[in-house]
Amino acid sequence: MGVMVSQGDPRLAVIGRRLARVARVVPVMSSKGGVGKTLLSCLLALALSERGARVGLLDLDVTNPTAHVVLGADLSKFPEEDRGVVPPLIGGVKFMSVAYYSGENPLPLRGWEIDNVVREVLAVTIWGDLDFLVIDTPPGIGDEVLDVLSYFPKHEPLVVATPSPLTVASVRRLLKLLTEAVKGELIRVVENMARDDSDIIADLAKKFHVGFLGKVRFDEGVDRAVGDIDALRRSRMYKDVSMIAEKLL
Amino acid sequence: MGVMVSQGDPRLAVIGRRLARVARVVPVMSSKGGVGKTLLSCLLALALSERGARVGLLDLDVTNPTAHVVLGADLSKFPEEDRGVVPPLIGGVKFMSVAYYSGENPLPLRGWEIDNVVREVLAVTIWGDLDFLVIDTPPGIGDEVLDVLSYFPKHEPLVVATPSPLTVASVRRLLKLLTEAVKGELIRVVENMARDDSDIIADLAKKFHVGFLGKVRFDEGVDRAVGDIDALRRSRMYKDVSMIAEKLL
Amino acid sequence: MGAARVVHEWALAEAIADYVFKSAPSAKRVRVTVRLGELQAVDEGILKFALREIMKSEGIACEVVLKREDCVLKCRRCGHEWLLKEVEFGEEVREAIHFVPEVVHSYLKCPKCGSRDFEVIKGRGVWVEEVSWE
Amino acid sequence: MGAARVVHEWALAEAIADYVFKSAPSAKRVRVTVRLGELQAVDEGILKFALREIMKSEGIACEVVLKREDCVLKCRRCGHEWLLKEVEFGEEVREAIHFVPEVVHSYLKCPKCGSRDFEVIKGRGVWVEEVSWE
Ligand SMILES: Nc1ncnc2c1ncn2[C@@H]1O[C@H](COP(=O)(O)OP(=O)(O)O)[C@@H](O)[C@H]1O
Ligand SMILES: Nc1ncnc2c1ncn2[C@@H]1O[C@H](COP(=O)(O)OP(=O)(O)O)[C@@H](O)[C@H]1O
Ligand SMILES: [Mg+2]
Ligand SMILES: [Mg+2]
Ligand SMILES: [Mg+2]
Ligand SMILES: [Mg+2]
Ligand code: NI
Ligand code: NI
Ligand SMILES: [Zn+2]
Ligand SMILES: [Zn+2]
């Protein structure tokens, strides 16, 4: 009987354990920037939590985190430690972001460094019991998005689209990628910043045989509510997102 | 006299030669997505060219290229070869994009692969004599943006911002990074999708001691002009961008 | 950092333990060599203690060998190489880097050319160099 | 591909030449070994011809050694490794990959798990393995 040897990254080995008591993982995605991924992730997490679900929110837009700005999170102290890092409760949601550590400084990173951040955060964050883990992701199809697809054993992508030609081109590419990797019934599309009753996005969802959860209307006032959870909860966008949350529950 | 040895990537060695006859390099940047980088890059290239400048446009949003959609570029044939790859002329602009090769398929790439694409494209594209090379970049601060800062011996970033709180947070981080690397007088900020006469963006530029080139107003009709260069040239956004072009000349 | 039972090093010890369990699912005696990069500044005593506790609770005899690795940085723009030892950080910054080593890019620039486009070429964080069992 | 004087291999030859000039600015006799990855499918004859022409025009005697490298792919999701030889592409796709090898991610998935998150671990494109001079 000889000696066997193995070497590698221990962080990947523990991710399964960290997510063991997380019932559903919902990455909010869109290859297009500025379609409302971050705002929608935050409002969705708040709306799910208001309905009694235990919710975590993870900002994986590593080189440009902004979810803390939406939530008005306090970056002046680090999250508590308890055999890992415990995401602070903000508006009832367990919120984790690299911004706790980078502050408002630039965080320019090469792809393999982004991958390292994702591994580190997934390995040390203690989510505990969650009904939903909502994940905000960056635009493009780079390391963060590939990591979400590779490291989470199961997930239900929520694709955000707006009815502009540039968004539709980007979302089509993303849906092609996602439908290869995830069962169609676990993928859902939301139309954001809807201004009229165009069916472009609903039709796109149908074409790819994925779910369509409805429209979130353009809400002129929502930008002014950014940073203030109570004001966000009073916004019209929150009302629309709450309907989406209902359908997810 | 012994033997000396060197090994490495030949592509980096030739980039200087490829850009030798390019007078000015203008990367259009913003850590925030959806602020109009792509539309502005395209319109700026068209407006500069209309004013008699010799202009190239390079889409470096590698995993989500969309400039070809704005320009209505034909992806059905590869660019011509002549001791390298010759960017096709579109609306008077020499246009290069990875989309000629990926088509409308998804192009999910890890960071070091994105870096490889940037090196390859810079090494083989024959720009010839140019007064301006405009570069469209992705959101975030990842490989594409770091490559622009590292591989171009000189460049004059054009930072696009909209007056929303999430954009301002992102742009502040980018300006911090850029002002460390580039002389303040070579950095310029443009406000896009302006709707009123707020001074947030102009003030931000002042605070960082960089230039402010003015506002591009929100133009409801511009999305319908996407894909049609003549229609784009008739848009109100094009008029506003033309004023920016004048100031750059 | 902090008291042994609560700090986040415990989570890293669990990661190493899970790695060992996956590599050698039925082994009762293992030896694990872990490389600890200077950048993350993991507390060796706590990590060792936590790892032994976890292994003991699973009924496994585990020999733990920790190896420190100095941190070397290299600029991608100008090629300059330097040592983390030459850099001075405040307590808050060191703590931030302890949790997510990559945030070093938020607080450090190449001392020669000022670029933040540098790489940690050695000495980042926790890596299993060897698990051996019979 | 196409006629020797016009194809894009010429640009890659110029890159290699510039690399040699920078490595050995005053050498009059050099030897360059270039590794050519199977994925990019560079035309060896044209590359060699172009490189010799460029070197001759600079008055340098250059010995060119080209080495083919097979292309190996590895899935990051499931770990599966496979060879490019086992894959069949149409002419258009091969041509696209010839220009920008990374677009292979637009046309290929892991044959085992279907993921596009795979790596070209060997045999991508053009790499200078050695320039030597005295
Ligand atoms: N339904 C909406 N109504 C009005 N403005 C919105 C809506 N959704 C998003 N926005 C605004 O659009 C901008 C981009 O939103 P953000 O969530 O940052 O997008 P992403 O994360 O996709 O880049 C922000 O200024 C945000 O306030
Ligand atoms: N000045 C403007 N007026 C109206 N719409 C605009 C304006 N600038 C950009 N847009 C629209 O905003 C969306 C995002 O623009 P895009 O150029 O793709 O941004 P980015 O490249 O920064 O992600 C597009 O639908 C585009 O048509
Ligand atoms: Mg966002
Ligand atoms: Mg503090
Ligand atoms: Mg864009
Ligand atoms: Mg063709
Ligand atoms: Ni600690
Ligand atoms: Ni060719
Ligand atoms: Zn440097
Ligand atoms: Zn696979």
DSSP one-letter string for D27-84: -SEEEEEEEEETTT---HHHHHHHHHHHHHHTT-EEEEEEEEE--EEEETTT--EEEG
Facing B108 at nearest CB: one of A61, A104, A146: A146
Facing B150 at nearest CB: one of C77, C109, C114: C77
**Which residues between 39 and 98 in chain D have a beta carbon less than 8 angstroms from any beta carbon of chain B?**
76, 95-97
CA B35/CA D33 separation, integer angstroms = 47
**Is residue D7 predicted with pLDDT exceeding 50?**
yes
Beta bridge partners of B5: D132
CA C95/CA C104 separation, integer angstroms = 11
CA D126/CA B8 separation, integer angstroms = 10
Mutate to test the interface with D, among B1, B3, B7, B104 (most CBs of D within 10 A): B7
- pLDDT-derived band at A2 (thresholds 50, 70, 90) equals low
Q: Which atom of ligand 1 is nearest to the CA of A39?
A: 17
A109 contacts C76 by C-beta, under 8 angstroms: no
CA B66–ligand 5 middle distance (angstroms): 6
CA A89–ligand 7 middle distance (angstroms): 20
pLDDT digits (tens, 9 = 90+) for C7-52: 899 999 999 999 999 999 989 999 999 999 999 999 999 999 999 9
**Which residues between 42 and 61 in chain A have a beta carbon less than 8 angstroms from any beta carbon of chain C?**
none
Within 8 A of B38 by CB-CB distance, chain A residues are 166
**Is residue D3 predicted with pLDDT exceeding 70?**
no
Residue nearest to atom 15 of ligand 2 (CA): B36
Tokens of residue B14, six digits: 């030739």
Q: Is B57 in the pocket of ligand 2 (CB under 6 A)?
A: no
Looking at residue A19, what DSSP letter applies? Answer: T
By C-alpha distance, the chain B residue nearest C78 is B150
CA C108/CA C114 separation, integer angstroms = 9
Using the Cβ of A151 and the Cβ atoms of chain C, whether some distance falls under 8 Å is answered with no
Which pairing describes strands A158-161 and A188-194: parallel, antiparallel, or unpaired?
parallel
Using the Cβ of A49 and the Cβ atoms of chain B, whether some distance falls under 8 Å is answered with no
- The answer to whether D115 contacts A181, with C-beta atoms less than 8 Å apart, is yes
Largest CA distance in chain D: 53
Average pLDDT, integer, range A83-93: 97
CA C112–ligand 9 middle distance (angstroms): 5
- The answer to whether A32 contacts B35, with C-beta atoms less than 8 Å apart, is no
Shortest Cα distance, chain C CAs vs residue A185, angstroms: 32
CA C103/CA C123 separation, integer angstroms = 15
Dihedral over alpha carbons D51, D53, D56, D58 (to 10 degrees): -80
Distance of CA A6 to the CA centre of its chain: 34
- pLDDT-derived band at B2 (thresholds 50, 70, 90) equals low
**Is residue D2 predicted with pLDDT exceeding 60?**
no
Residue nearest to atom 8 of ligand 2 (CA): B36
Tell me how many degrees the CA angle C68-C71-C76 measures, rounded to the nearest 5.
Answer: 150
How much is the pLDDT for B1? 47
How much is the pLDDT for A1? 47
Within 8 A of D127 by CB-CB distance, chain B residues are 7-10
Tokens of residue C47, six digits: 């990590």
Q: Who lines ligand 1 at CB under 6 A?
A: A 30, 33-39, 66, 192-193, 216, 218-219, 222-223, 237; B 33-34, 164, 166
Share of chain A above pLDDT 90, in %: 91
C40 contacts C97 by C-beta, under 8 angstroms: yes
Least confident piece of the model among A193-202, B114-123, C83-92, D117-126: A193-202
Q: Which residue of A166, A171, A192, A193 sits with most ligand 2 atoms within 8 Å of its CB, as the best mutation to test the pocket?
A: A166
Using the Cβ of D105 and the Cβ atoms of chain B, whether some distance falls under 8 Å is answered with yes
pLDDT digits (tens, 9 = 90+) for D71-129: 999 999 999 999 999 999 999 999 999 999 999 999 999 999 999 999 999 999 999 99
Shortest Cα distance, chain A CAs vs residue C131, angstroms: 5
**Which residues between 125 and 144 in chain B have a beta carbon less than 8 angstroms from any beta carbon of chain D?**
126
How much is the pLDDT for A236? 98
CA C17/CA C22 separation, integer angstroms = 9
Using the Cβ of D125 and the Cβ atoms of chain B, whether some distance falls under 8 Å is answered with yes
Using the Cβ of D114 and the Cβ atoms of chain A, whether some distance falls under 8 Å is answered with yes
How much is the pLDDT for A181? 83
Q: In what order do the strands lie in the sheet with C72-75?
A: C81-83, C72-75, C118-122
| Closest C-alpha among B190, B193, B230, B185 to residue B210 | B185
- The answer to whether C106 contacts A105, with C-beta atoms less than 8 Å apart, is yes
pTM of the entire structure?
0.96
